[in-house]
C-alpha cells in the first residue's frame, strides 16, 4: 500500500471521493479540504493498494523500485 497527499487543481468544487480498481488493485483519492487555497490548489489524499500473492516479490519490491 502506498499513500500520500498532493496539491493539484481541484477536480470539482466541494468534497469528493474517487475509487477505482478491483479487489487486487485499487486507487482511492479524496479531498482533504474543500476550500481552495489562495493559489487555486486543493489538498487531496491518495491511496494505492496492490495485492501480491508471491511473497518473495513483495519483500523485494519497494515504493522506490516501483517509481524509479
Cell of 54: 508471491
63 or 6, which is more confident: 6
What integer pLDDT is reported at residue 28 of this predicted model?
A: 92
Distance in angstroms (rounded) separating the CA atoms of residues 30 and 60: 30
**pTM, 2 dp:** 0.64
Domain ranges of the chain: 2-67
For 14-52, how does the pLDDT look when each residue is reduced to its tens digit (9 = 90+)?
A: 888 999 998 888 999 998 876 666 778 888 999 998 887
56 or 6, which is more confident: 6
Residue 55: which pLDDT band, with cuts at 50, 70 and 90?
low
- In the sheet with 2-6, reading across from the earlier edge strand, the strands are 2-6, 44-50, 25-31, 17-21
Amino acid at each position: 500500500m502506498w499513500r500520500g497527499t498532493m496539491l493539484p487543481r481541484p477536480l470539482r468544487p466541494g468534497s469528493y471521493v474517487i475509487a477505482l480498481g478491483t479487489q487486487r488493485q485499487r486507487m482511492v483519492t479524496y479531498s482533504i479540504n474543500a476550500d481552495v487555497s489562495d493559489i487555486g490548489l486543493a489538498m487531496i489524499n491518495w491511496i494505492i493498494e496492490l495485492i501480491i500473492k508471491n511473497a518473495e516479490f513483495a519483500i523485494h519490491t519497494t515504493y522506490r523500485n516501483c517509481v524509479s
